[in-house]
Amino acid sequence: MKQFDSPIMVTRPLMPKLDHYKANLEEIWESQWLSNGGAQHVGLEKALKDYIIAPNLSLFNNGTIALMTAIQSLRLQGEVITTPFTFPATTHVLAWNDITPVFCDIDPVRLTIDPTKIERHITAKTTAILGVHVYGIPCHVEEIQNIADRHGLKVIYDAAHAFTTTLNGVPIADFGDISMFSFHPTKLFHTGEGGALVYNDTNLKQRIEYLKNFGIKSEEEVILPGINGKMGELQAAMGLNVLPLVRSEQAKRSKIRSLYSELLSDIEGITILKVPEGTTNSEQYFCIRVHQHSFGESRDDVYGRLRLYNVMARKYFYPLISDYPCYSSLSSARSENLQEAKSAAAEVLCLPLYGALVYSDISQIVEIILSKKK
C-alpha cells in the first residue's frame, strides 16, 4: 500500500482563473472603492440571491459575525437551545451575546438537533432554537418550527454546510427566521473569508444592515451598537468568480461520493452518512461512521492510519462543544443528556472530498481504511 506523496487534505478551495479575478481587480482599481457596498458587493449580493433563491440576503465579512448579528437582530437573550455537534462558532456566538447555550442531543441518523428532545429544555428564559444543518443534512425543520410556534421562540439555522441545499424543492434558508451561510475557503462556495444571512422578513433588512455597519444611519446618526460585519470588495470579487464554478465542482464531488459509496458499501461496521429523501446534497462533506465493535477498529485507529499514509481526514466534530472547558460545567453539558452526540463525535470521520481527486486516489484512500480488515 502506497503513501501519498503530498498530503491529501479534506478539501481544497475552488480557485478561479487568476485572469478572471484580475478583471474584477481592474474594476476595483478603477473605482478606488474597497468596501462599504461597492459594485462588487452589489453584484455578488444580487448573484447570490438569484442563485440560492433568497428573498433577502445580507453579505458579511465572515459567517461567525453574520451569526452574531442574526442573534442581535432578533434581540435574543436568556437561553438558546442548540446542538453540541457542530463547529465552535455556533455556540461561541451565543456566549458572545451573553446567552446561555442549552445543549440538546442529536438525532442518531441525521446528527442534527433531535426535535423530540427540545421541549424538555424549554424554560421561561428560552428565546430561540439554533439548529445546524450539519454536513448539509437538513434539520427536522417542520417539527422545530412547530415547537417554536407553540412556545413563541425564534428559529435560527447555521447553514454553513448547506449552500444550495433544497428540501422537497424549497431552498433551505426558507425555513426558520434567519439562516447563516459561511463563505470560508473550506466551504464549497467561498469568498476567501465571508458569509451571509438569508431571511424571509424584509423588515429585518434595515436593522441587519445597521448592525453590520456600526449602527450608522447617516453621517451624524448612530442609532444602535453595531459591529463591523461588512464584506469588502476584494472578497466580493472573489465570490463573483467562484460562483460560476460551483455547479461543476458539485457534479465532480457527486461522482466521487458515488465512488466512495460503492467501495465502502457492504463493509461491516462502516456506515455512510446520507442526506434524507427529498434533499439536494450540498456536496460539502463526505462522512462515514466507524462502529468500533463491528468494524474491529475505532474511528481514531482509522484516522491515525490515514494520517500515516498522508491522508488528512478530519474528525468533525470531535470534541463536542459541550466538552470544551468553557461550557462543560453547564448542566445541559452532562453526558447523560448527550448520548447520541457523544457517539457521533467518537465515530464520524470526514474523508477528502474535492473535485480534483481521481479514481485511483479514492480507491487508495479506501484501501487504507480497510487495510486492517484484510
Ligand X SMILES: *Cc1c(COP(=O)(O)O)cnc(C)c1O
By beta carbon distance, the residue nearest ligand X is: 63
Residue found by looking up cell 441587519 in the block: 208
Q: Minimal distance in Å, beta carbon 263 to ligand X?
A: 26
Q: Minimal distance in Å, beta carbon 195 to ligand X?
A: 5
Contacts with ligand X by CB under 6 A lie at: 62-64, 86-87, 89-90, 132, 158, 160-161, 182, 184, 195
Q: Minimal distance in Å, beta carbon 63 to ligand X?
A: 3
In the complex with ligand X, the residue whose CB is nearer, 309 or 316, is: 316
Q: Minimal distance in Å, beta carbon 183 to ligand X?
A: 6
The span from the CA of 365 to the CA of 313, in Å, is 10
In the complex with ligand X, the residue whose CB is nearer, 167 or 369, is: 167
Cis omega (within 30 of 0) for bond into 295: no
Angle, vertex CA 154, rays to CA 273 and CA 232, nearest 5: 75
Whether 158 contacts 198, CB under 8 Å? no
The span from the CA of 51 to the CA of 243, in Å, is 9
State the cell numbers at 365. Answer: 484512500
53 class by beta-carbon count within 10 Å (0-12 exposed, 13-18 middle, 19+ buried): middle
State the cell numbers at 62. Answer: 465572515
Q: Minimal distance in Å, beta carbon 53 to ligand X?
A: 21
The span from the CA of 91 to the CA of 100, in Å, is 9
In the complex with ligand X, the residue whose CB is nearer, 51 or 85, is: 85
State the cell numbers at 265. Answer: 458499501
State the cell numbers at 105. Answer: 442531543
In the complex with ligand X, the residue whose CB is nearer, 184 or 289, is: 184
In the complex with ligand X, the residue whose CB is nearer, 89 or 362, is: 89
Whether 6 contacts 205, CB under 8 Å? no
In the complex with ligand X, the residue whose CB is nearer, 231 or 366, is: 231
Q: Minimal distance in Å, beta carbon 372 to ligand X?
A: 30
The span from the CA of 100 to the CA of 130, in Å, is 12
Q: Minimal distance in Å, beta carbon 172 to ligand X?
A: 13
Residue 180, CA atoms < 13 Å, CB-side half-sphere: 30
In the complex with ligand X, the residue whose CB is nearer, 163 or 309, is: 163
In the complex with ligand X, the residue whose CB is nearer, 76 or 368, is: 76
Q: Minimal distance in Å, beta carbon 186 to ligand X?
A: 7
**DSSP per-residue string spanning 277-298:** TTB------EEEEE-HHHHSS-
